[in-house]
Amino acid sequence: MNENKTNINWYPGHMAKTRREISEKLNLIDIVFEVIDARMPLSSKVVDIDDLIKDKPKVLVMTKYDLCDKEETNKIGKYYEELGYKVVYCDLMSGNTNELINISKNIMNDINKDRINKGMKERAARILIVGAPNVGKSTLINRLVGKKAAGVGNKPGFTKNLSWIRINKDLELLDSPGILWPKLENQEMAHILASLSSIKEEILNNDQIASFILRKMYELYPDRLMERYGIEELDEDLIEAYDMIGRRRGALSRGGVTDYERVSDIIIRDLKNGYLGAITLDRLK
């Protein structure tokens, strides 16, 4: 299972279209919620988002907080706060979004005071929801609305168009398809995005993704590999590790030969479903 050094680069046409449409609608936007996956709070942050949204008030919403290594994610959250960002940690399973709603109302109160001073009427806050693919934008919207208003998919690229969603008389949301950036220069981050489904599987095959996951978990959480698979050390080409997982999980072909494709699927699924424990794959340098 030698790791393929394929460079990951994915920037489909719909992402360029989304960026263009956001720029065109920017004058209608009051607040931006940038949604980040708490398991990859550096890798899933859109690197040039500030160029796109200009000086709009912004909140970093770290979703899937229940699935992350809170100690490591909080370090990165503090780093963002030191840069001047407002950071909100969001466990989407609990459905509690009161903090986000209150922050939005406070920001909009100041905006409406300015509107009144200019002789304009008060209006509902218009919030853009933006972020990388599959970081939890649609789930967040459904929690804010209190019902299923946005489609939720397990694959990146599920949401295709910008669409307005009204929460109540005070809040309106503009949902957007997931966006990345034109060139994924940091291949470590690109592999992390692929491992947690922000990059389509067609760009990198499952063997490459699973191999990266094993090596990353061995680097950061070696005890989890021991607990889940009985792996104490990783061999260079990962064959022994794959064989061990295959035997333990019954991923064998006729004659007891390891089905490497099935093992790759198991590794990827275990990471996504939390069977390797609460993890955060990014680290501050």
CATH number at residue 157: 3.40.50.300
pLDDT at 217 over 80: yes
What's the chain's average pLDDT?
86
User: 229 lies in a domain?
Assistant: yes
Question: Which is more confident, 265 or 143?
Answer: 265
Per-residue pLDDT at 23? 87
Question: Judging by beta carbons within 10 Å of its beta carbon (0-12, 13-18, 19+), is residue 175 exposed, middle or buried?
Answer: buried
- Same structural domain, 45 and 110: yes
Per-residue pLDDT at 9? 52
Question: Which is more confident, 182 or 98?
Answer: 98
Please count the structural domains in the chain.
Answer: 2
CATH number of the domain within which 228 lies: 1.10.1580.10
DSSP string, 152-185: --SSTT---S-EEEE-SSSEEEEE------S---
- Same structural domain, 218 and 171: no
User: 154 lies in a domain?
Assistant: yes
Contact status, residue 197 vs residue 44, Cβ threshold 8 Å: no
Residues 196-209 pLDDT 10s: 987 765 567 899 99
- Same structural domain, 147 and 221: no
User: 194 lies in a domain?
Assistant: no
Residue with tokens 């090596």: 215
User: 83 lies in a domain?
Assistant: yes
- Same structural domain, 63 and 109: yes
- Same structural domain, 137 and 218: no
User: 48 lies in a domain?
Assistant: yes
pTM of the predicted protein model: 0.85
Residues 73-92 pLDDT 10s: 999 999 999 999 999 999 87
Per-residue pLDDT at 52? 87
% of the chain with per-residue pLDDT over 90: 59
User: 4 lies in a domain?
Assistant: no
Residues 28-40 pLDDT 10s: 999 999 999 999 9
User: 1 lies in a domain?
Assistant: no
Q: Domain range holding 22?
A: 13-175
What is the token pair recorded at 224? Answer: 């989890």
- Same structural domain, 53 and 168: yes
